[in-house]
Amino acid sequence: MHDSHHSPASSSPTAALIGFGIALAAYAAAAAAGWPQYGRDLLVAAQAAHHEAHEDHAAAEHVPDAAGHGETDDGGHSAGGPPPAWAVIPFMVLLGAIAVLPLTPPLAHWWEHNSSKLLVAGTLGLITLGYYLLLHREAVELHFPAHSVVAPAVGGPSWGVAAAVLANALLSEYVPFIMLLLALYVITGGVRIEGDLEATPTVNATFLGIGATAASFIGTTGAAMLLIRPLLETNQQRRSVVHTLVFFIFMVCNCGGCLLPIGDPPLFLGYLQGVDFLWTMSLWKEWLFTNGLLLAIYWVWDAFFAYPRERTSDIVRDVHRAGTLRISGLALNAPLMLGVIAAVGLLDPSKAIPGTGWHPWIFLREAVLLALVIASLALGSREIRVKNGFTYFAILEVAALFVGIFVCMQPALSLLNEHGASLGIQSPQAFFWATGALSAVLDNAPTYLVFFKTAQSLPADGTLMAGVEVGRLACISLGAVFLGAMTYIGNGPNFMVKAIAEQAGVRMPSFFGYLVYSVGVLLPVFAVMAFLFF
């Protein structure tokens, strides 16, 4: 690849190992004190009370409707109304900063630093929390570790309300999200697929096809992190690389991950809500059509427009340097990856481990993921990570931005929870486009859950899955997974691939530049898919 401005050095694992070890030791100390067990017990007790309320049709504590309203805590308080629409301004400003600051010459270099991103995201998150602390005078629902309702203070700052919003954003949503991404990122970073293949359109298309297939089985993050580096190395002699990486984000980071719940976080949330583990396999036709059409578009683009414009000297050099692929680091990290899948599938505190009746402790899943990360770093080959150019920059960029996104989007999610059922969304197509439009700018996991709950509240004429008519459920699932590809912030791996590519010297499109690709390519593909299948 040309115009490479730097080659990042591989990060030493020592500091990371110490930090991860301290975090794991802190969890062990908390477990010794009984805190994770206590949180698990609160969750199990709340579930038992919820089921008993459904069975007895108790009048005093009535069963919540599908949008999550009307629940009361032990003090008899009801969840109040949502915040005003202007409370989403910090969220909109954060999205604007992500889109505009990289394009603003005086600030572009400053914005490249993750500390700058954290400063902006953290400041806007604090403004959102400040609203809940000082201005919001309605009760809010707390989702961690178990559901309850927190009433505002009678006078003065509502510390409990602000703490509940912060717990919902960070403890309930952000920590599981970032820990799963960290585990997939670090473990796949210890696998080296080595070899500079000839960067022909067919070879690149093969990378995309393999990645889109793997995404459903090792997650979009796992597949992306495993294949992005060999794809970059294969294309290092080519000048036209950006379109290849954009299609990589389209397919490997998003559209490939809809066949199993472990493929993408929204589908995992659906599994936790009662969707059968293999139900998403029924989406194979939509998966095959969408990814097949994207693959065909990419091959035509590369074969007839991009590849012929490469310089002859670059093509000759690419052919001379081409070799075979070699895989190293798999013996250790493949079992660790299976451990990640097992931990995510089994260690959900809201569900008993099959055949045991035992509910895992709160954050035990995340502790196991952290232990697997430590094993990969401590036992794996440092040489492999050096050759991969492995650093923590990409995951830190996601962590810095998404900590603000998860906090700032809480008012937006509250508004959707309140008004989702009254939006007039009834048909499967409407659910596809509504879920997809918001998944492009909100994190697609909570967006999926909002429309899942909305669909549960609607009457159904056909077969149900987890209380949702299957046609609507299919469209909610596909909208969340597919249209997460519309922007860099639609799904966590999108930003990671962008950061890794830029570290390798590729000048990736800006936020708006990427939108040109997604609007021009993805929207027509999704429109055809929706017309044919919904």
Residue 7, in any domain of the structure: no
Asked whether residue 514 carries a pLDDT value surpassing 90, the answer given is yes
Whether residue 335 is preceded by a cis peptide bond, meaning omega within 30 degrees of 0, is: no
pLDDT, one tens digit per residue, over 232-281 is 988 988 889 999 999 999 999 999 999 988 888 789 778 767 788 789 99
What percent of the chain lies above the pLDDT cut of 70? Answer: 91
Domain assignment of residue 386, yes or no: yes
| CA proximity to 394, closest of 514, 250, 489, 501 | 501
pLDDT (0 to 100) of residue 126? 97
Q: Where does the pLDDT of residue 12 fall: very low under 50, low under 70, confident under 90, or very high at 90 and above?
A: low
**H/E element, 328:** strand 326-328
- Is the pLDDT confidence value at 45 over 80? yes
Residue 142 gets which letter from DSSP?
E
User: For residue range 401-448, what is the model confidence (pLDDT) as tens digits?
Assistant: 889 988 998 998 888 777 766 777 889 999 999 999 988 887 687 778
Residue 6 lies in a domain: no
- pLDDT recorded at residue 272: 67
449, part of any domain: yes
User: What pLDDT is recorded for position 55?
Assistant: 67
- Residue 192's SS3 state is strand
* Distance from C-alpha of 377 to C-alpha of 369, rounded to nearest angstrom: 13
Q: Using DSSP, state whether 460 is helix, strand or coil.
A: coil
pLDDT band at 35 (very low <50, low <70, confident <90, very high): very high
What are the tens digits of pLDDT across the range 271-305? 767 788 789 999 999 999 999 999 999 999 999 99
The dihedral built from the CA positions of residue 233, 239, 244 and 246, taken in this order, carries a sign that is positive
Q: What is the mean pLDDT of the chain?
A: 86
Contact 184, 257 (CB under 8 A): no
- Statement: residue 140 has pLDDT above 70: yes
155 half-sphere exposure, CB direction, 13 A CA radius: 0
What pLDDT does 54 receive?
Answer: 64
| Radius of gyration for the alpha carbons in the chain, expressed in angstroms and rounded | 23
Higher pLDDT, 171 or 59: 171
Please, which pLDDT band fits residue 184 given cuts at 50, 70 and 90?
Answer: confident
pTM, entire model: 0.81
Q: Is residue 4 part of a domain?
A: no
State the residue range of the domain holding 325: 13-533
Q: What value does the mean pLDDT take over residues 449-475?
A: 86
Domain count, the chain: 1
| pLDDT score of 455 | 85
Q: Looking at residue 78, what is its pLDDT?
A: 58
CB-based contacts of 227, cutoff 8 Å, min separation 6: 193, 207, 210, 211, 214, 248, 252
Q: Is the pLDDT of residue 89 over 50?
A: yes
Of the two residues 3 and 525, the one the predictor is more confident about is 525
Contacts 24+ apart (CB under 8 A), 504-508: 504/1, 504/4, 504/7, 504/232, 504/236, 504/389, 505/1, 505/2, 505/3, 505/4, 505/5, 505/6, 505/7, 506/1, 506/232, 506/241, 506/242, 506/245, 507/3, 507/242, 508/242, 508/245
* pLDDT for residue 120: 96
Task: Calculate what percentage of the chain has a pLDDT beyond 90.
Answer: 52
Residue 334: pLDDT band with limits 50, 70, 90: very high
pLDDT above 50 for 70:
no
Using pLDDT thresholds of 50, 70 and 90, give the confidence band for residue 77: very low
> At 214, which amino acid appears?
A
